Amino acid sequence: MATAEGASDHVVLNRRHWDERASGWHGPLARDQWRQTEPAWGLWSVPESQARLLPDDIAGMDAVELGCGTAYVSARLARAGARPVGVDISREQLATARKMQREFGIDFPLVLADAERLPLRDASFGFAVSEFGASLWCDPHRWIPQAARVLRPGGRLAFVRRSPLFALCSPVDGPVGPTLLRAQFGMRGHGDDTNVEFTIAHGEMLRLLRSCGFIVDDLIEVQAPEPARRDYPEVPAAWAHQWPSDEIWKARLSR
């Protein structure tokens, strides 16, 4: 298992951030997410029937969720017949995940570890997934090579992340707006002294995935529905109906 020793600064910050958040409001939210029997993805709950994020042959597949938090995505995988493993850096998040496992009667391994330094064997999984986990809180130049390492040849990778446009138009505080606030070139990690999120441009992401042996099968830039069921403090639905706040990537390992 990974520890704080030797971890990057953003890993230490993000671990503390999620340990503190988990003790506050995350229990009730986790329960709501675990209750959902029909998978839906991202801020705007794109249904699985539309996103097709899960492989058609997911039943019986070894799968790993990178940055699982309370592991509701892993619970979806287990319900679909997969054999998931959830990985997260936050001890408190995993404690909530274990509570949900007991409450809902769904059991699978949970590993306290950093997705940038996975303590998992090479070529162990057929599917790797992240919904605003490693895909947002880890350096993509570190976690994506790790995902490639633990996937078998032909294995699939799917992840949901913030869109680059959202990152470019988001102020330090307050909701996203229609104005570019930072440069795209050189964009990578952004945050403050409490947490760090990562976003890279589409071209850089494509080159990174290819360099790790992935073939990109799809990129879905998510549009908020109209009317949307809710707004978020960081992104009004009206903004996300015009521009993508989040996006879904699907790729497969060619080697």
Q: Is residue 170 part of a domain?
A: no
Does residue 171 sit within a domain?
no
Angstrom distance (rounded) from CA 110 to CA 99: 12
Question: Is residue 241 a part of any domain in this protein?
Answer: no
Domain of 148 in residue numbering reads as 9-162+200-231+247-253
Only one residue has tokens 């597949």, namely 61
Tell me what the mean pLDDT of segment 166-185 comes to: 94
Contact between 131 and 41 under an 8 Å Cβ cutoff? The reply is yes
Task: Examine residue 178 and state whether it is found in any structural domain, yes or no.
Answer: no
Q: How many CA atoms lie within 13 A of 19 on its CB side?
A: 11
Residue 226: inside a domain: yes
pLDDT at 26: 64
Let me know if residue 169 belongs to a domain: no
- Say if pTM beats, i.e. exceeds, 0.75: yes
Nearest Cα to 93, choosing from 164, 155, 144, 20?
20
The string of pLDDT tens digits covering residues 3-20 is 334 457 898 888 887 888
pLDDT band for 77, please (50, 70, 90 cuts): very high
pLDDT tens for each residue of 6-61: 457 898 888 887 888 776 556 688 899 999 988 999 999 999 999 999 999 999 99
Distance CA 64, CA 159 (A): 12
Q: Are 40 and 160 in contact (CB under 8 A)?
A: no
| CATH, residue 99 | 3.40.50.150
**Averaged pLDDT, 151-157:** 98
| Tally of domains in the chain | 1
Domain annotation covers residue 189: no
The reply to whether 182 falls in a domain is no
